[in-house]
Amino acid sequence: MPRFRAAYVRFARFRTVARSTATSAHRQVMDLCRTVACFVQDGSVSRSKAALMFRQVAALTIGICLGVAIQLADAMAGGRSPPTGETHPADVVLARRVLMAGIGRNMDEISGMIEAAFNLQEGREHADLISTMLLAFPHLFPVETNTWSEKLAHDDPAHVSLALPTVWQDYDDFVARAQQASQTALDASFAATAEQFRALAKDLQRACDSCHQAYRRP
């Protein structure tokens, strides 16, 4: 299961806990009321004693309700990831596409420069930027952003995702590829010679291409 599924699992668990706590509290209060009512009916408890017992039940009810409320507040405060993917999937798609386009621009610079003599320091800086961006990229894929359709591609080409459904089917591999490519870019950012840099830049280009083949619409 993809790791970001954890948010939904947590949310489902929070709802189950809330429901079962409320049910068991309701059961306890009803049991107590029934017991007190029985005592009064068979005359084993005086009316004033019964009133006291009902007051105790009321106090208990308030206590249990407060407990449930605190538990709910706890779950709501700490239990959820920001739901941007659910509420604004198109924003997330746009963000990751802009991020990828930034990676693309830096890679174009590198590909252009390594054809001839080049400034190694400049190349290393581009590689460092690519490495940083590739590390963040795979975390911008909540399930709700699997949004490609022919209609959307036609109507709103800026916000449609070109990612293939394979991203969500094999999410661990997708993340691993991004991390591997990020590492290659990082290595390039530390290259000691132009030759080393060229070789790593070619490795990086292969990583871009093979990931696109597996996970992006042609």
Residues that bind ligand HEC (CB under 6 A): 93, 96-97, 100-101, 103-104, 107, 130, 138, 161-163, 167, 174, 177-178, 181, 204, 207-208, 211-212, 215-216
Nearer to ligand HEC, 36 or 140 (CB): 140
Rounded least distance, CB 93 to ligand HEC, Å: 5
Distance CA 58, CA 40 (A): 17
Nearer to ligand HEC, 46 or 210 (CB): 210
The one-character DSSP state at 79 is S
Nearer to ligand HEC, 53 or 93 (CB): 93
**CA–CA distances in Å: residue 195 to residues 104, 117, 120, 208:** 22, 11, 10, 20
Rounded least distance, CB 34 to ligand HEC, Å: 59
Nearer to ligand HEC, 45 or 153 (CB): 153
Decide: 199 and 123 in contact? Cβ < 8 Å: no
The one-character DSSP state at 52 is H
Closest CA to 161 of 140, 182, 186, 187: 140
Nearer to ligand HEC, 42 or 115 (CB): 115
Rounded least distance, CB 6 to ligand HEC, Å: 20
Rounded least distance, CB 100 to ligand HEC, Å: 4
Residue with tokens 């208990």: 60
Cα 116 versus chain centre, distance: 43
Rounded least distance, CB 192 to ligand HEC, Å: 21
Q: Beta-carbon neighbour count of residue 126 at 10 Å?
A: 22
